[in-house]
């Protein structure tokens, strides 16, 4: 009897195992104020004036970068108006907006794959943005992977 139960337990353990692997391709994610955050949708827009806009959406939130160029390299936030990061959250009809600007907030976007070369954007980011009340919010350990140009 023991052997039958042991065999059934072993068989059950093999049957219950699965190989559910999920790939995040494309992906826009990071740690927002200490919590994991992942976009449901993200897009890259190459603007006619040579700048690039990156938008990432979750159910109630939007992260947006407007940077001076889509080429590889690092763009710094909080220094000038040509590179701006923003985060907007809307819950229960209340919208809270955070942004970087000239001497407001900080951070960077490192572009490792340029969308002008491959049609897709990859890189890393981090930023701290400020709302109208002076409250800060931001992201660390941000990763952008294979976001296509729209």
Q: Does residue 71 register a pLDDT over 70?
A: yes
Q: What is the pLDDT of residue 150?
A: 84
- Who contacts 149 (Cβ-Cβ below 8 Å, separation ≥6)? 43, 44, 45, 46, 115, 119, 120, 121
Reported as a single tens digit per residue, the pLDDT across 7-33 is 555 665 555 555 444 557 789 999 999
Task: For residues 67-81, give the mean pLDDT.
Answer: 96
Task: For residues 117-146, give the mean pLDDT.
Answer: 96
Which of the two residues, 104 and 23, has the higher pLDDT score?
104
Separation between Cα atoms, residue 48 and residue 106, nearest integer Å: 26
Q: What is the pLDDT of residue 14?
A: 56
In the chain, pLDDT over 70 holds for what percent of residues?
Answer: 84
Which of the two residues, 133 and 26, has the higher pLDDT score?
133
Q: What is the pLDDT of residue 25?
A: 74
The pair of structure tokens assigned to 86 is 């923003």
Separation between Cα atoms, residue 108 and residue 98, nearest integer Å: 15
């Amino acid at each position: 009897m023991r052997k039958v139960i042991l065999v059934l337990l072993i068989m059950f353990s093999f049957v219950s195992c699965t190989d559910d692997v999920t790939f995040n391709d494309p992906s826009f994610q990071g740690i927002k104020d200490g919590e994991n955050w992942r976009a449901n949708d993200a897009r890259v827009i190459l603007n006619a004036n040579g700048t690039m806009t990156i938008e990432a959406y979750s159910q109630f939130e939007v992260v947006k970068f407007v940077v001076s160029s889509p080429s590889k390299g690092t763009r710094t936030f909080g220094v000038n108006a040509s590179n701006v990061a923003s985060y907007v959250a809307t819950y229960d009809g209340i919208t809270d907006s955070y942004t970087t600007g000239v001497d407001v907030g900080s951070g960077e976007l490192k572009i490792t794959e340029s969308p002008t070369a491959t049609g897709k954007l990859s890189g890393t980011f981090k930023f701290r943005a400020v709302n109208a009340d002076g409250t800060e919010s931001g992201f660390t350990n941000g990763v952008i992977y294979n976001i296509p140009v729209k």
